Amino acid sequence: MSDRTRAHVFVSGTVQGVYYRATTREQAGEHGVDGWVRNLEDGRVEAVFEGPEDAVEAMVDWCHEGSPAAHVEDIEVEYDDPEGETGFRVRR
């Protein structure tokens, strides 16, 4: 049984144009988490984190604050089995 998990996160608030994606990528690198992050047309940020359960949880916790200029209002998180993400990238 793997200790890896996957979190699919939707973040709402003032989270676009405030370096949220770039800072998320930096944090993912520090935590050794794979996945991706992107802006959605409705103003939210969507992210997927895969990795050790504690590292993924640290990223989910971080999303509640986000980048220094962000103002996070709400977070939705769904957990699932890892799909084999490798590396962490910002999607367009």
The catalytic site residues sit at 21, 39
> What is the edge-to-edge ordering of all strands in the sheet holding 4-14?
71-80, 4-14, 45-52, 34-39, 88-90
**Which backbone phi and psi does 22 adopt, to 5 degrees?**
-65, -40
